[in-house]
Amino acid sequence: MKRMSMLLGGLLLVAALVGCPGEKKREEAAPAQPAGAAKAAKQDPLAAWQPQFDPSGAEYTYLLSNVSHPAIEGVSFGYRLRDKVWERSGGRLYVDFRPLSQLGQEKAVLSKLKLGAVQGMLCSSVAAANVADTLGIVNLPFVVDSFDKLDTFRNDVELFGEFSNSALGQGLKVVDVTGYGSYGWATKEPVRNLQDARKVNFRIAQAPVNADIYKAWGLKFTVMPWGDVPQALQTGVIDGLDHTPIVCNLTRKFEVARYLTQIDYAQGLFIHLMNKAWFELLPADLQAILLEVIAEESAASRALTRRQQQEQIAAAEAKGVEFFPLSEADRQHLIELSAPVYKAWGEKIGVDYLHKVQQRLGN
């Protein structure tokens, strides 16, 4: 009876949130569709990802949220997780994955996650720092700044263990990470060096660490919700944005911002947060299956993201988008300018932990 009450409460919450169109993202990528799914996709953008099984008989449901589109490999992870968990659990555990802000934007979903009304969330790394300061370490400039360093960080039991445990005070577990590529500057005019960058007003995410970075770098910036970016780019409110090639190409930002400077100062991540109390109510065998599949599919998704970034850069270049690598001298200058950020956030994250991460990643 208790289990049924928890599920009913979750389903009622889903119905309420899905009925609020103002909570949904205004612009998303159009994923590649099988030929026979094109008509259905016009009516349902997630038609191609519907389960090939009937989940109604599941004993347990894991409601998992994300704001982005499954055209991004780090997001479609949720569907691969759904299918493999269903298979390994013999249909006992259903991962009900809800991308495209179906359950609300990240701030609202984080509140529901802490209460247990939503059980899991692929939270953007820029928003995750609002859960625990330690999670902000992955946003610091030139720390976890490459695919190789991300894998090293994730696979180091000590480093990732401290990262994972940092959200326990909020009743949340960090179980793994997927991604959406390397951060750079997409701009309407070419930015080949830092002198060019100082002429640009960059849109940055609504996260304190990002604001601290751009202040330290001495660059103009505007903090703006993602849904406001298309109009702001078109009207000139901003003339650049801080984001990744994958997202900029899939969401058509390159149609206006035709240049990308490859800063590669951080990896865009989805941090997989899970409600701890809900997890502890699962039978032990289902706990093991869920964590095992999350680890497998997260690792696979990170590998797919490496490939997707190269594919999306090539696709953008084929459409005339120009890419500029930042010179080593300019990169080093940005690292030097970041000293106040390392100091301020080192005190929040833990100076010893930050130094340990930097040392082991070769920074």
Give the CATH number, domain containing residue 254.
Answer: 3.40.190.170
Q: Do 287 and 336 sit in the same domain of this protein?
A: no
Coil/strand/helix, residue 221: strand
Q: Do 116 and 171 sit in the same domain of this protein?
A: yes
Instruction: Give the least confident one: 59-63, 208-212, 300-304.
Output: 208-212
Question: Per the structure block, which two tokens stand in for 251?
Answer: 């969401």
Q: Do 113 and 234 sit in the same domain of this protein?
A: no
Q: Do 85 and 151 sit in the same domain of this protein?
A: yes
Q: Do 289 and 356 sit in the same domain of this protein?
A: no
Q: Do 17 and 91 sit in the same domain of this protein?
A: yes
- Strand 184-187 and strand 201-204: the pairing is unpaired
Q: Do 20 and 90 sit in the same domain of this protein?
A: yes
The total domain count for the chain is 2
Q: Do 349 and 235 sit in the same domain of this protein?
A: yes
186 or 4, greater pLDDT: 186
Q: What is the pLDDT of residue 227?
A: 85
Q: pLDDT per residue over 16-53, tens digit each?
A: 333 332 333 333 444 444 445 455 556 788 999 999 99
Q: Do 55 and 196 sit in the same domain of this protein?
A: no
Structural domain for 245, as ranges: 184-266+314-360
Average pLDDT over residues 64-77: 97
Nearest Cα residue to 17 out of 98, 126, 137, 91: 98
Q: Do 66 and 190 sit in the same domain of this protein?
A: no
Which of the four pLDDT bands, split at 50, 70 and 90, describes residue 251? very high
Q: Do 165 and 193 sit in the same domain of this protein?
A: no
Q: CA-CA distance, 257 to 185, in Å (whole number)?
A: 9
**Which residues in 110-122 are b (16+ Cβ under 10 Å) and which e?**
bebbbebbbbbbb
Q: Do 105 and 137 sit in the same domain of this protein?
A: yes
Q: CA-CA distance, 115 to 11, in Å (whole number)?
A: 14
